[in-house]
């Protein structure tokens, strides 16, 4: 059975965050360990767009977290905690966070993306020009790079799409070059 069908069954074909029944997609909660249904939620495009674009968050839309934060599925709890942490300055999200309980492993997963940290402690990935990089961005290499442990050389001008951020080091990102997943130092890339 596909992940989407399993999630539809688990959620009764509703967004696991806001409860809508339209425009549902699988949203993988990063960082993943094994992948699969335990690390994904079924969410509507409205929720996904606001999760991925912090500047487009509509506080009133997320009042639904009052219910979904109690969901028995850990991935839903993680997304709820992250969104409440992001919006906590508004007041009511902080009240919900104060009520919410996550076990140690779940809280570690929820904090892995830096949500909930003060801005001064949060890892910020920047390209060679100082532009902030986000998960899923596309970058271009500004220098030929030898790939360690391989005879491959990633050529200057190569586009790397759908990058992933290293959550422990602000100078590292991951991406595919010529079909091979590699770690790239941010000072050698420019955001497209």
Domain assignment present for residue 142? The answer is yes
Please say whether the beta carbons of 186 and 128 come within 8 A: yes
Adjacency order of strands within the sheet including 180-185: 164-165, 172-177, 180-185
Question: Burial of 154 by CB count in 10 Å (0-12 exposed, 13-18 middle, 19+ buried)?
Answer: buried
Same domain for 73 and 163, yes or no, is: no
Residues 102 and 52 in one domain: yes
Residue 150 — φ and ψ, nearest 5°?
Answer: -150, 160
Q: Where are the alpha helices (DSSP H) in 21-73?
A: 45-52, 65-68
Instruction: Please provide the average confidence, as pLDDT, over all residues in the chain.
Output: 91
Range of the domain at 175: 137-191
pLDDT of residue 134: 84
In-domain check, residue 132 = no
Helix (H, G, I), strand (E, B) or coil at 176: strand
Task: Assess whether 11 and 93 both reside in one domain.
Answer: yes
- Provide the pLDDT for residue 61: 96
pLDDT at 113: 83
In a domain, 129, yes or no: no
| 102 lies in the same domain as 22 | yes
Q: What is the pLDDT of residues 90-135, one digit of tens each?
A: 889 999 999 999 999 999 999 988 776 655 556 788 999 988 898 8
* Tens of pLDDT, residues 27-37: 999 988 888 99
Residue 7 covered by a domain: yes
Quick check: is 145 in a domain? yes
Same-domain pairing of 149 and 102: no
Axis crossing angle, helix 74-87 with helix 92-99, rounded to the nearest 10: 140
Could you tell me if 22 and 111 lie in one domain?
yes
In a domain, 125, yes or no: no
Query: Is the pLDDT at 1 greater than 70, yes or no?
Result: no
pLDDT of residue 33: 84
pLDDT, one tens digit per residue, over 68-84 is: 999 999 999 999 999 99
173 in the same domain as 106: no
The first and second tokens of residue 143, run together, are 């220098």
pLDDT of residue 14 exceeding 80, the answer is: yes
Q: 84 and 10, same structural domain?
A: yes
Q: How many domains does the chain have?
A: 2
8 and 95 together in one domain: yes
Tell whether 61 and 11 lie within a shared domain. Answer: yes
Identify whether residues 21 and 66 lie together within a single domain: yes
State how far the Cα of 175 lies from the Cα of 64, in Å rounded to an integer. Answer: 34
Residue 127 lies in a domain: no
CATH of the domain at 165: 2.30.30.40
DSSP code at position 81:
H
Clarify whether residues 109 and 150 are in a common domain.
no
Residue 126 lies in a domain: no
Report the range of poorest mean pLDDT among 85-89, 117-121, 148-152, 177-181: 117-121
């Amino acid at each position: 059975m596909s992940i989407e069908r399993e999630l539809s069954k688990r959620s009764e074909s509703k967004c696991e965050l806001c409860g809508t029944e339209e425009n549902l997609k699988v949203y993988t909660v990063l960082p993943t360990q094994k992948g699969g249904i335990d690390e994904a939620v079924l969410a509507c495009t409205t929720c996904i767009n606001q999760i991925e674009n912090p500047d487009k968050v509509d506080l009133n839309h997320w009042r639904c977290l009052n219910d979904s934060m109690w969901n028995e599925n850990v991935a839903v709890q993680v997304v709820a905690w992250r969104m409440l942490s992001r919006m906590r300055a508004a007041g009511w999200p902080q009240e919900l966070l104060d009520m919410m309980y996550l076990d140690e492993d779940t809280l570690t997963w929820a904090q892995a993306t830096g949500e909930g940290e003060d801005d001064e402690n949060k890892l910020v990935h920047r390209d060679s020009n100082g532009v902030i990089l986000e998960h899923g961005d596309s970058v271009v290499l500004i220098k030929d790079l030898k790939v360690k442990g391989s005879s491959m050389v990633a050529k200057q001008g190569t586009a790397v799409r759908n990058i992933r951020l290293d959550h422990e080091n602000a100078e590292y990102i991951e991406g595919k070059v010529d079909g091979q997943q590699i770690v790239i130092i941010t000072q050698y890339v420019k955001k497209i």
